[in-house]
Chain A
Amino acid sequence: MTVARDLNVKRWFDLAWGGFLWGIMILFVVNVALMIAAVATSSFARRWLGTWLPEGWTTRWYTAAWKEFQLDSILFVTAEVVLAVVFLSLLIGVPAAYTLARRNFPGKRALLLLFLLPLMVPPMSYGIPLATVLYKVQLAGTIYGVILANLIPAAPFVILVMTPFIEQIDPNLESAARVFGAGTLRMFWYVLVPLLGPGILAASLLVLVRTIAMFELTFLTSGADSQTLVVALYYAVFAAGVRAPQSVDAMAMVYMGVTLAWLLIALKFVNPTQLVSRVKESPQPA
């Protein structure tokens, strides 16, 4: 009798707890969705003052934002920065990941620490000394400075993402290539790079999405003509009184469109959790 009642109470408690968690989850997701919807609504609004929906709809804020913020040149700079960061981080990150995955050597732990540190220290606290150094060598304010700064979190991230991909390649393939007389470079290019295709694709998409959204480092190192989209958006929101709020929102929508488009492409190839951590998909025993 008491056992049955205890079980009942427990089931009831479990149900309530589950419902509570779902409630929090739904509350969070709905509010974030409404927040994004609010930006979207405002960017198409003719006039929107204290009502549920605006009085009329228009697309003219987009053309206004395009002209006011010179979005074409900002988008061009963003593309340049992102492509350069993806390419360079792969160029130095993949070979390093290979050595770290395959070889043991003295000082390996120190090297791993060196590559992990930039992911642990927030950009704001190493960005300021970095910007100071870049100003001294007159690279700050230029697009090269922005690219160099963005490479600091990107290159270690490539190493982190690539290491498990390299570990799962059979070392015998490399030995076979060496038996046939291929040097490290040839072996790398003809054996490893083709096999690593999926990993490289995943790493480059992850770096791409992260670089588009990377605010702090670009903000600290960019000048007037080397702003990326997210920094330009910050300045637009910062100086909100100067321009019509709707055109700032139109710009926010352009930023959101760019980011989400790439995110959707990325999610075709990577697991969402890979954006925040290294995921080793080990086969579970049946």
Chain B
Amino acid sequence: MTAATHGNTRDALNDAKRINAASQRAARVGLDPALWLVVPAAAFMLLLFIYPFLYGLALSFAPKEGDWLANYTHFFTTDNLWPTIATTLKLAIPATLINVGVALPIAFKMRTKTRYQRWLTTILVIPITLGTVLIAEGMLIYLGPKGWLSQFLQYFHLYDAPIRLTHNYWGVLLSLIVSGFPFAFLLILSYITGIDPVLARAASTLGADSRAQFRHIYLPLLAPGLAMCFCLSFVQAFSVFPSAVLLGSPAGPTRVISIAAYEAAFEVYDYSLASAIAMIMGFVQLIIVAGVLGLRGVFYRGPVTGGKG
């Protein structure tokens, strides 16, 4: 009894001290009214981004039946759930490698501000804004067994058998390239144009041709940007949903993890399992992203825009 009262008094004292210290700190850093301007945005993000995430995490450990890990054991022991990770990675990793790998040399070639650059960036922004749903619909017609591509190949006898590019793995991979390549290109281009051309000019004065400039100047400076671009491209490809349903075969080779999560939430109405799948999805992404950003540490770190003068 006395101990409890003592404890309460001590807590109250501690609280008072803490509040006092906080207000002193506030006075020191100059807590001005401008700080209130960031409060609505921060509160919004906490309420609608962080809270749902934590709620989902907690929910995933509170399954409908079984112990607290039941959802996760269910995921890793069910035949149509755990292979979705491999299925998704099999789509996302090649797509990301192709997108970033092809975008890099092309963006490097387009690095100077020319008319072509403006035109190409304008054309390439179109597939991004149209979005994956429209791309999927377009590819269903264009790549379908009676589409223009198939007709073209048969007309010139390049490939006579009916092509199969829809409702399978290849259709989804192509759609990831159609929407992901422009994204990677524009991102890398914005990083490359951010590198001070004076550095390359200095190198060319010393006799470096464009390949040597790329290897010794641009590539090391681009490493952080490339790592970022790889991560963002990968994250997009990893969460592929509409084209995997419309353009792939959502029951078989393109049953990606987001389809599994969607089915659990909106067809089985097991929000707990759905949250668990969403958390696994986030975790796998995190591993890949952390790995890529860790690799980046091997390269040069420092300013890329160069000093004045």
List residues of A whose CB falls within 8 A of some B CB.
Answer: 10, 14, 18, 21, 24-25, 28-29, 31-32, 34-36, 38-39, 42, 49-52, 91-93, 95-96, 98-100, 102-103, 105-106, 111, 114-115, 117-118, 120-126, 128-133, 135, 148-149, 151-152, 155-156, 159, 183-184, 188, 209-210, 212-216, 219-220, 230, 233-234, 237-238, 245, 248-249, 252, 255-256, 259-260, 263, 267, 271-273, 275-277, 279-280, 282, 284-285
Contacts and interface: CB of A to CB of B under 8 A. Distances in A.
Contact of A35 (B106, B138, B197, B235): B138
Contacts of A117: 49
B46 A114 contact: yes
Contacts of B123: 29
B72 interface: no
Contact of A128 (B50, B141, B189, B278): B278
Given A148-B48, A152-B49, A237-B246, A256 B134 contact: yes
Interface string B279-309: 0011001000100000000000000010011
A128 B121 contact: no
Chain A interface mostly: helix
What's the interface size class on B, roughly?
35 or more
Given A38-B147, A92-B41, A118 B49 contact: yes
Contacts of A282: 194, 305
Given A38-B141, A279-B190, A272 B52 contact: no
Contacts, number: 265
27 contacts: A14-B210, A21-B109, A28-B181, A34-B148, A36-B138, A39-B137, A98-B37, A106-B25, A114-B42, A124-B281, A129-B53, A129-B55, A129-B59, A132-B55, A132-B265, A183-B33, A219-B242, A230-B133, A233-B134, A248-B137, A252-B137, A252-B138, A259-B130, A260-B126, A263-B126, A271-B121, A279-B190
Given A52-B148, A124-B241, A129-B275, 13 more contacts: A24-B106, A28-B181, A35-B138, A95-B41, A99-B34, A126-B278, A129-B56, A212-B129, A252-B134, A259-B134, A273-B121, A275-B186, A277-B187
Residue with the greatest number of chain B CB neighbours at <10 A, chosen from A93, A121, A249: A121
Interface in B109-149: 109, 120-143, 146-149
A34 B220 CA distance: 38
